[in-house]
C-alpha cells in the first residue's frame, strides 16, 4: 500500500516558472525523500530531509517538512524543459530494525519551453 | 563508479512461465531492494536484501522471490507468471543498513506477460 498521496497528480507550467508539489503521509517517519523519474526509466534521488529538519535546499530545489501535518512540499525554482518528469515522495520508517521506503503516487510535471 | 545495472532491460513472457531478473548494485553497496511499478498500483516494495539476508518483504505472493549473492548481486524470480505481473521492475542499491535508506536505482526491466 502507498503511504503518500501527492498533489497535484499533474502539473503543467512554462519554462522559468516555479513548480510546487505536495506530499502527505500517514505514519511517523524517520525521513522523507524526493525522487525524479523520467518516462519509464529508473528513479533518481533528489533530496532527503530528516524528521527533525524543517527545510532543506539543494540547487534549485527546496523541500519543506511539517511533521505535525504529516506533509512535505518540493519547490523547483526557475523550471527548465529538462525538469519534465514524474516526481515521487518516499517516506522511510523503521520498525523493529526493519526499514521500509514507501513511495507516493507521484506528480507528473510538464515544463513547456 | 558504475551505476546500478539490470538485465535484461526488456522481456516478454507467456502466462504460466517463470522469469529471473538480475541486478548488480553500485560497487560497495551491500543493500539491494526491488520494486514493482505499474500504472495502477504505482511503486510497490518487493523486498530488501542486505549481506545475503532478506531484511524486509513487501505484500506480494510467494511467487515472487529473491536472493543475494556474496558479491551483493541480486536476482528476483517470479514463478507462474500472471498477466498482472506485467510491470517495470526496479532494483535499487543503498550504501548502508542505516535509516537514511537513500536509494540508487537501475534503469529497470520491463516485463510483459502475454
Write the pLDDT tens digit of every residue in B6-60.
999 999 999 999 999 999 999 999 999 999 999 989 999 999 999 999 999 999 9
On average, the pLDDT of chain A sits at 92
Q: Which residues pair with A108 in a beta bridge?
A: A10, A86
Residue A2 scores a pLDDT above 60: no
Residue A98 scores a pLDDT above 90: no
Contact check, Cβ <8 Å, A99/B90: no
Q: Which residues contact A5 (CB under 8 A, 6 or more apart)?
A: A23, A24, A25, A104, A105
Contact check, Cβ <8 Å, B56/A98: yes
Tens-digit pLDDT profile for residues B53-97: 999 999 999 999 999 999 999 999 999 999 999 999 999 999 877
Residue A94 scores a pLDDT above 90: no
Contact check, Cβ <8 Å, A30/B107: no
Residue A1 scores a pLDDT above 80: no
Q: What is the per-residue pLDDT for A100?
A: 81
Residue B112 scores a pLDDT above 90: yes
B56 contacts in A (CB within 8 Å)? 98-100
Q: What is the per-residue pLDDT for B96?
A: 79
Show which of residues 3-62 on chain B sit within 8 Å of chain A, judged by CB atoms: 4, 33, 35, 42-45, 48, 55-56, 59
Reported as a pLDDT band with limits 50, 70 and 90, residue A3 is low
- If you write DSSP's letter for every residue of A51-107 in order, what string do you get? TT-SEEEETTEEEEEETTTTEEEEEE-S--GGG-EEEEEEEEEEETTEEEEEE---E
Amino acid at each position: 500500500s502507498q503511504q503518500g498521496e501527492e498533489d497535484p497528480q499533474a502539473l503543467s507550467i512554462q519554462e522559468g516558472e516555479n513548480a510546487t508539489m505536495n506530499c502527505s503521509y500517514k505514519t511517523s517517519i524517520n525521513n522523507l525523500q524526493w525522487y525524479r523519474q523520467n518516462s519509464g526509466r529508473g528513479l533518481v534521488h533528489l533530496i532527503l530531509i530528516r524528521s527533525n529538519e524543517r527545510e532543506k535546499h539543494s540547487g534549485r530545489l527546496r523541500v519543506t517538512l511539517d511533521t505535525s501535518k504529516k506533509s512535505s512540499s518540493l519547490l523547483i525554482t526557475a523550471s527548465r524543459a529538462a525538469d519534465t518528469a514524474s516526481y515521487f515522495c518516499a517516506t522511510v520508517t523503521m520498525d523493529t530494525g526493519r526499514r521500509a521506503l514507501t513511495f507516493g503516487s507521484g506528480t507528473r510535471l510538464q515544463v513547456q519551453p | 563508479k558504475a551505476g546500478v545495472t539490470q538485465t535484461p532491460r526488456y522481456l516478454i513472457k507467456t502466462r504460466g512461465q517463470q522469469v529471473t531478473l538480475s541486478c548488480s548494485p553500485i560497487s560497495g553497496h551491500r543493500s539491494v531492494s526491488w520494486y514493482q511499478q505499474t500504472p495502477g498500483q504505482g511503486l510497490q516494495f518487493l523486498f530488501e536484501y542486505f549481506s545475503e539476508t532478506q531484511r524486509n518483504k513487501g505484500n506480494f505472493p510467494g511467487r515472487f522471490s529473491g536472493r543475494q549473492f556474496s558479491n551483493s548481486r541480486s536476482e528476483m524470480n517470479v514463478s507462474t507468471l500472471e498477466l498482472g505481473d506485467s510491470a517495470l521492475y526496479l532494483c535499487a542499491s543503498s550504501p548502508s543498513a542505516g535509516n537514511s535508506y537513500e536509494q540508487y536505482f537501475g534503469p529497470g526491466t520491463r516485463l510483459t506477460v502475454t
